[in-house]
Amino acid sequence: MIRPNILLLTIDSLRADHLGCYGYAKNTSPHLDSLASQGIVFENAFAAGIPTMPSFTTLLSGTHPYRHGITAHASEQRLKPDVELMPQLAKDAGYVTIAIDNLATQANGRGSWFPRGFDYYSSFLYKPFSNQSEQLCDRALGFIEEFQERPWLLWLHLWDPHSPYGPPAPYDTMHYQEGGAQGRSRLDAVKRWAPEYYDEFLADMKLKVSDDYEYVLAQYDGEITYVDTQIGRVLQHLKTLGLWDSSIVVAMSDHGEAFGEGDIEFDHHGLYDAVTRVAQIWRVPGLEGGRREALVSTEDILPTLCDLAVVRLPQNEITGESFASVLRDQSAAHRKFVVSVESTRQASIALRTAKWKLLQPIVRGARIAVLPDIYGRERDPKVLLFDLENDPQETRDVGDEFPAVRDELLQQLGAWREAEVARRGGDDPLLKNGLSLGYDEFMARLSSRKLRG
């Protein structure tokens, strides 16, 4: 049988609501918007784990972080060798498997499993303030041209718009309007949350306009437009080579970015929707476009691609469920809830339904007694409940107003977690190793980067 090519475009730290196809007012993403107009846009796609390593391990394995054990970025945890990944399945089905990614080399090689199953793993070190996305897309163009006569799976991991934000000209000023951030025009208010932290963090940005919140947002948006331009080149190359109608294209983010949600700025921690909701756009030959409201998880992408490309599922048990039926029918339902986790710079677990979000801070660990927040401070252990229908920005905890809902969801989350821990023989991956990048280590890293820069 003739199998479709699979192009998996993953854009690091891309907040869905900063794309035109998700309602953003600025013209940040014309090429992704064009793809969305021809394809299928998921309104309620969520990452099962953040940040990057947990998210992409789940993407490639079809398995929740609680099951595969990678709950933090650049931690000491390793993926077991018997966990089959997407490129291994595709390779067995006759695909040429290609990755352009840095997770095996970044963080001293602690993502050693990411090359697993790839015929070609083209690695790099992330270099902010450069045209790296253009260089990486050049690599992608070369691979597509070289293997156009064979079915291929190509995973392209682009790091723009990850912080520190610093797009090349002319993208650095393209979206800047002085004083445009209503109510947050100065960065003084941000710095007051954690002065030492944000003095270092913002200095790492090398901002040309030092005290305008809108300028920082414009740098983030400029990186989106820059990477969107490069993605446009890759999509056009498929069309030029006559591969457009024989290729599945998935464009997505690993997680979003916080701009004030959870008292976090310009970073991707906290399990608010701003961070856990991911952009996800599919173009599947033969399927009509449109928007999908069904709740889906990053766990579900592997089994969906296996379904569409008629590729076998992993021999190990997965937690993902194919949503091919949702791609074919916009009225189809999928998940009742998604559980998301983090344990990199702070630890949390959240359960999200279509209407409710329950967010539980994890403040005690097994090895480290106290787990602080990203600013190194003691966290409030209070469980938060958000009514997403009436408060989609998650600004007001309504747990005391709806105690029955809070308690029911907390019981549901507790039962889910208990079952996963039992599968692991009593090992809770959120608690086992504490945080992989605590406050002191993160601040030392920032200071080191500033000295080198």
Domains of the chain: 5-328 (3.40.720.10), 338-452 (3.30.1120.10)
Mean pLDDT, to the nearest integer, of 91-99?
Answer: 98
pLDDT, tens digit (0-9, with 9 covering 90-100), for 32-73? 999 999 999 999 999 999 999 999 999 999 999 999 999 999
Radius of gyration (C-alpha) of the chain in whole angstroms: 21
* Cα–Cα distance measured from residue 383 to residue 380, given in angstroms and rounded to the nearest whole number: 9
Tell me the whole-structure pTM to 2 decimals.
0.96
Mean pLDDT on 130-136: 97
Residue 452 has pLDDT above 50, yes or no: no
Is the pLDDT confidence value at 309 over 70?
Answer: yes
Taking CA atoms, 299 is separated from 45, 63, 150, 295, 302, in Å, by 10, 5, 27, 12, 7
Helices marked H in 286-381 — which ranges? 301-309, 324-328
Q: What percent of the chain has pLDDT over 70?
A: 98
